[in-house]
Amino acid sequence: MPFIPHTTDDTAAMLGAIGARTIDELFDEIPPALRVVGLPGVPVGLSEAAVTRLMRERAARNRATLCFLGAGAYEHHIPAAVWEIATRGEFYSAYTPYQAEASQGTLQLIYEYQSMLAGLTGLEVSNASLYDGATAFAEACLMAVRGARQARARRIAVPRYMNPVWLKVARTLVAGQNIELVELTATAGRTDLEALADLGDQDFAAICIPYPNFLGGFEPIDELTNWAHARGMLVIAACNPTALALLRPPGEWGEKGADIACGEGQPLGIPLSSGGPYFGFLTCRKALVRQMPGRLVGGTLDVDGRPGFTLTLQAREQHIRRSKATSNICTNQGLMVTAATIYLSLLGSEGLRRVAAQCHANTLELVRALASVGGITAPSAPFFHEAVLTLPWPVAPVLQQLAAAGILGGYDLSADFPELGSALLVCATELRTTEDIAVYRRALAGVLGVAVAA
Amino acid sequence: MREPLIFDQGRPGRRAPSQAPAVAAGTDDLPAALIRRTPPPLPEVSELQVVRHFTRLSQLNFSIDTHFYPLGSCTMKYNPRAANKLAMLPGFLDRHPLEPEAHAQGFLECLFDLQEMLKAATGMTGVSLTPMAGAQGEFSGVAMIRAYHQARGDTARDQIIVPDAAHGTNPATATMCGCDVVEIPTGPDGDVDLAALRQVVGPRTAGMMLTNPSTLGVFERQIAEIAEAVHGAGGLLYYDGANLNAILGRALPAAMGFDVVHINLHKTFSTPHGGGGPGAGIVAVNDRLEPFLPIPIVGRRDGAAGHAYRWLAEAERPQSIGRLSGFMGNAGVLLRAYVYMRLLGAEGMRRVSGYATLNANYLMKRLAAAGFTPAFSQRRASHEFIISLKDVTRDTGVSALDFAKALLDKGFHAPTTYFPMLVPECLLIEPTESEARQELDAFAQALIEIRDLAFKDAAEVKSAPRTLPVRRLDDVRAAKQLDLTWQSRADSPAVSPR
């Protein structure tokens, strides 16, 4: 019997101790009309060898491609040690560290993680993770509404070029609490500062500033931060964590710095994995710590005065506070945080900065190479890590033909942002080589019917 | 045994150079004002230091792989290695989530099959795999219930009923969905107080959330009457699947009258808890709620050339409550559950609930015979049961918390303590089906020894744990003198171990 250790003798002796004749008898409190004997629709069990064969066959049907697609998930190198260690049974099969004395490994690791993310974002406090970037953004909005100076402010201002899926997710998650996400007007790929005056004196709890924005461009971070603070609003930064090794962190934006930072942790050692599990990070100023959702680990001392770690400020959480909790989150993405902490330790600040710089250099090289194909326009403003190309033809069929050639050519922006025309979002991480870029350029020229020099 | 912080192990300039590009690329084209002035405070350590540090940290943990872990309501069963290995095959692991569907047929087929098996295991007609943990499954369920009432123009329904023994996520979820929470009491034998329920249902009832078997470790025998009361008032019934392990293959939530169910795949279907996630909190629904399922969902088109799998999203699901994740949920967790379910098959699933229940009832009987007090001794245990230590605490001053810490010294993870809150000094014990009889006997023996010691030398028990990396920690200090990051220690050197 898979995963059940009982011998026939064990079972008989245990039933004897209970005073039951069969295992089925143990279910005699379930009303007979509700009992079922089988699960039609579930196939018979297979051996590990047979399931291995099945899964290998299915995995092989997923075609391998050359990836120039980002749009929220990025293919980075993951050092071998990251998952070798993260999947050790002592991390993999442990529960949430409620019994602190028996969980010091996980607790210290989360404390180190919190330190790293607080440092990367330039803020003081980090939680132990949320589900992913999109839900971290939603939780940041909820947190800002709770922490807002104007108690009745239930609007969050969001630039036009925010990740469109994150916006959908946030709308799903905040809908029940009558919170409204209000889109700001943009010109030339970023928020139009002059149009901010059109908002009049509406109450806003916060503004969220993506960094870089969904197009890979830069919002006027300092101006928006100062504008928001002058209106009594909080500032939420939605950041790519790799970028923060190279770019000015949210804690240093404007005169006072952003108040909350959130984002998708996947670039920090988490495989693309068909969409998840990833993890969301959330950091903030110390003054907002009691509005923080999710778990927090703190240092303390034991009865002998020795230092140790424990979950803290649990009065914010659902298992204590029930209907008054800051969020309903319980299970988060612990193992992903384990991987990310190992990743950040292996890379260090110089390593991570080099990864960021190489991603940027490769994207720059990609943009130059593709823009040399006739009819394609490169962006004029600075970008990081991702950039928008304008094609002379609709993007979808171009991407389809590239995919048939084994190339993931990027993200078609035309459905989400029709004002951009035939716009294609491309990305080249540190893993793309000059040769990869040449392959893409030749394939794209072929699709567009343009002759290019090899 | 203590491990210094990784930050304290570094030296300026030390790196693990094979892990980053050899040459630092230029960034001259970026505006100077955007460049970071001081590097982030990350550790400066070698690869071996990293491997050693995190290996040592792992050794400070209890886990299923190293210890019996009878944590009630958490279903800490064996996590098969095959599930991990097969979910991490490159064909799944290296796929970008936005790859064209044509490139992802093998992956989508696994998810489609998983949806079908989950329908079979619940008796429901629709499934969405996208919720990333139980709490997100709960959110989806309550949001769907609200959307259902709204779609019918029944807009006054804003109350969610929960039993007082419910998980904290139930009331927290109701609040997140903008509902008021109405708590109802539990009767003396562990079933819901039906009269109290009948009093509170009415035109404001959106629905009721129920765990069955309940967190008290007993099957709710009046489930048909409860369903009738809630449905009769116009509300819907939500099944919190935290305890599905107890009835897998033996009773279907749909047949009990539930309209929506979430399942914690990291409990019943054995995906790892990972020190606090990732989980997966899939939702299954009946026809009433099917149009409102969160997206995306995997669909299948049957053609002459075979099946074609694809994502169903906004265009095809206009009444959906929407998206819950940046892509499609915790794919890798779903694959691990899929592997586990294929290994078990229908018979294996039924065995899971059978042996989980056998283990719980055996351990309860054994402890009762040794003089411990089960909270509901006249009832069958489900896959878990409660022992109340009230009498021992009264006579010796040794509390459930002290028992929990003393168990750690004996090499057992503690059961859940002080939950559900209505049973004083309680231990909620869930052995799971994957533990052998001798492990249960050893655990029972440990509890007996601790109790004996409590009567002889209570102070000794209260001083536990003594054999772990730390002894009892000062939670009040942790909350009052917040030390949440390494950087903060520079400000308050008193806490610093350096």
Query: For the segment B274-297, what is each residue's pLDDT rounded down to a tens digit?
Result: 999 999 999 999 999 999 999 999
Average pLDDT of chain B, as a whole number: 95
In chain B, the residue whose alpha carbon lies closest to the alpha carbon of A263 is B326
- Pick from A186, A198, A209, A305: which is nearest to A262 by CA? A209
Are B167 and B138 in contact, with CB atoms under 8 Å apart? no
Smallest CA–CA distance, residue B442 to chain A, in Å, is 14
Do B267 and B196 sit in the same domain of this protein?
yes
Do B328 and B378 sit in the same domain of this protein?
no
Which amino acid type is present at position B108?
Answer: L
Q: Within B152-279, where are the H helices?
A: 169-176, 194-200, 223-232
- What's the pTM? 0.97
Smallest CA–CA distance, residue B469 to chain A, in Å, is 7
Do B103 and B210 sit in the same domain of this protein?
yes
**For chain A, which residues make up each domain, given as ranges?**
8-60, 66-75+350-448, 80-344
Q: Is residue B32 part of a domain?
A: yes
Task: State residue B443 phi and psi, 5-degree precision.
Answer: -65, -45
d(CA B205, CA A265): 39
Q: Is residue B68 part of a domain?
A: no
pLDDT band, very low/low/confident/very high, at B471 (cuts 50, 70, 90): very high
Query: For the domain that residue B456 is a member of, what is the CATH number?
Result: 3.90.1150.10
d(CA B285, CA B261): 6
CB contact under 8 A, A135 and B132: yes
Domain that holds residue B326: 82-343
Q: What is the largest CA-CA distance in chain B?
A: 77
Q: What is the largest CA-CA distance in chain A?
A: 84
> Which of A81, A90, A325 lies closest to B63 in CB terms?
A90
Do B144 and B200 sit in the same domain of this protein?
yes
Are B64 and B27 in contact, with CB atoms under 8 Å apart? no
Phi-psi category of B385—alpha, beta or left, where left has phi over 0 and alpha has psi -120 to 50? beta
Residue B493 clears pLDDT 60, i.e. is over it: no
Do B376 and B334 sit in the same domain of this protein?
no
Q: Which residues contact A136 (CB under 8 A, 6 or more apart)?
A: A130, A262, A263, A264, A280, A281, A282
Alpha-carbon distances of A29 from A32, B220, B352, rounded to whole Å: 8, 8, 18
Structure tokens at A377: 């326009």
**Mean pLDDT to the nearest integer, B127-143:** 97
Q: Within A32-163, where are the H helices?
A: 48-61, 80-86, 89-92, 104-121, 133-147
d(CA B444, CA B374): 13
Smallest CA–CA distance, residue B220 to chain A, in Å, is 8
Phi-psi category of A322—alpha, beta or left, where left has phi over 0 and alpha has psi -120 to 50? left
- Pick from B192, B66, B95: which is nearest to A103 by CA? B66
Quote the strand ranges of B10-66, DSSP E.
none
Do B224 and B360 sit in the same domain of this protein?
no
Bridge partners, A447 (sequence order): none
Structure tokens at A318: 């659902």
d(CA B341, CA B87): 13
pLDDT band, very low/low/confident/very high, at B1 (cuts 50, 70, 90): low
- Cβ atoms < 10 Å from Cβ of B199: 12
Measured between beta carbons, which residues in chain A are less than 8 angstroms from residue B137? none
Secondary structure percentages of chain B, helix, strand, coil, to 5 = 40, 15, 45
Query: For the domain that residue B109 is a member of, what is the CATH number?
Result: 3.40.640.10
Are A120 and A244 in contact, with CB atoms under 8 Å apart? yes
Are A431 and A79 in contact, with CB atoms under 8 Å apart? no
Secondary structure percentages of chain A, helix, strand, coil, to 5 = 45, 15, 40
Q: How far is CA A65 from the centre of its chain?
A: 22
Do B454 and B339 sit in the same domain of this protein?
no
d(CA A321, CA B434): 33
CB contact under 8 A, B98 and A91: no
Structure tokens at B162: 């929960």
pLDDT tens digit sequence for A361-413: 999 999 999 999 988 999 989 999 999 999 999 999 999 999 999 999 999 99
Measured between beta carbons, which residues in chain A are less than 8 angstroms from residue B363? none
d(CA B186, CA B163): 7
Residue A332 clears pLDDT 50, i.e. is over it: yes
CB contact under 8 A, A299 and B110: no
Residue A239 clears pLDDT 60, i.e. is over it: yes
What does the pLDDT read at residue B274? 95
d(CA A445, CA A338): 43
The gap between the terminal CA atoms of chain B, to the nearest Å, is 15
Mutation for B interface: A1, A18, A87, A93, most B CBs within 10 A = A93
∠ CA A112-A319-B470, nearest 5°, is 45
Do B198 and B212 sit in the same domain of this protein?
yes
d(CA B283, CA B241): 9
- Pick from A73, A70, A83, A93: which is nearest to A336 by CA? A83
Task: State residue B210 phi and psi, 5-degree precision.
Answer: -140, 140
What does the pLDDT read at residue B498? 35
Fold for the domain defined by A80-344: Aspartate Aminotransferase; domain 2 (3.40.640)
Do B162 and B293 sit in the same domain of this protein?
yes
User: Sign of the C-alpha dihedral, residues B487, B493, B494, B497?
Assistant: positive
CB contact under 8 A, A355 and B276: no
> B462-495 burial by CB neighbour count: b if 16+ within 10 A, else e?
bbbbeebbbbbbbeebbbebbbbbbebbeeeeeb
> Which of B86, B168, B404 lies closest to A55 in CB terms?
B86
Q: Is residue B182 part of a domain?
A: yes
pLDDT band, very low/low/confident/very high, at A324 (cuts 50, 70, 90): confident
Q: Is residue B66 part of a domain?
A: no
Which amino acid type is present at position A59?
Answer: A
Do B120 and B35 sit in the same domain of this protein?
no
d(CA B109, CA B101): 11
Structure tokens at B494: 């008193």
Average pLDDT of chain A, as a whole number: 95
Q: Could you write out the DSSP letters of every residue in B213-230? A: S-TTSS--TTHHHHHHHH
CB contact under 8 A, B58 and A289: no
The domain total for chain B is 3
pLDDT tens digit sequence for B299-351: 999 988 889 999 999 999 999 999 999 999 999 999 999 999 999 999 999 99
CB contact under 8 A, A172 and B324: yes
Bridge partners, A424 (sequence order): A389, A412
Residue A88 clears pLDDT 80, i.e. is over it: yes
Q: Is residue B485 part of a domain?
A: no
**Mean pLDDT to the nearest integer, A240-269:** 98
Do B439 and B325 sit in the same domain of this protein?
no
The H or E element containing residue A99 is none
Residue B151 clears pLDDT 90, i.e. is over it: yes
What is the 3 state secondary structure string of B420-443?
CCCCCCEEEECCCCCCCHHHHHHH
Work out the burial of residue B458: count CB atoms within 10 Å of its CB; fewer than 13 is exposed, 13-18 middle, 19 or more buried.
middle
Tell me chain A's radius of gyration from C-alpha atoms.
Answer: 26
Check if B86 contacts A (Cβ < 8 Å): yes
CB contact under 8 A, A323 and B171: yes
- 3-class secondary structure, A311: strand
pLDDT tens digit sequence for B210-267: 999 999 999 999 999 999 999 999 999 999 999 999 999 999 999 999 999 999 999 9
pLDDT band, very low/low/confident/very high, at B437 (cuts 50, 70, 90): very high
What does the pLDDT read at residue B494? 45
Note the ipTM here.
Answer: 0.97
∠ CA A429-B94-B49, nearest 5°, is 70
> Which of B25, B58, B67 lies closest to A358 in CB terms?
B25
- Pick from A154, A125, A77, A106: which is nearest to A296 by CA? A125
Do B170 and B90 sit in the same domain of this protein?
yes
* Crossing angle (nearest 10°) for helices A48-61 and B105-122: 130
Q: Is residue B497 part of a domain?
A: no
- Pick from A81, A63, A41: which is nearest to A406 by CA? A63
DSSP B36: -
Q: How far is CA B124 from the centre of its chain?
A: 21
Inter-chain Cβ pairs, chain A and chain B, closer than 8 A: 702
Residue B364 clears pLDDT 70, i.e. is over it: yes
Q: Is residue B451 part of a domain?
A: yes
Instruction: Report the CATH architecture of A66-75+350-448.
Output: Alpha-Beta Complex (3.90)
pLDDT band, very low/low/confident/very high, at A437 (cuts 50, 70, 90): very high
What does the pLDDT read at residue B497? 41
In chain A, the residue whose alpha carbon lies closest to the alpha carbon of B419 is A319
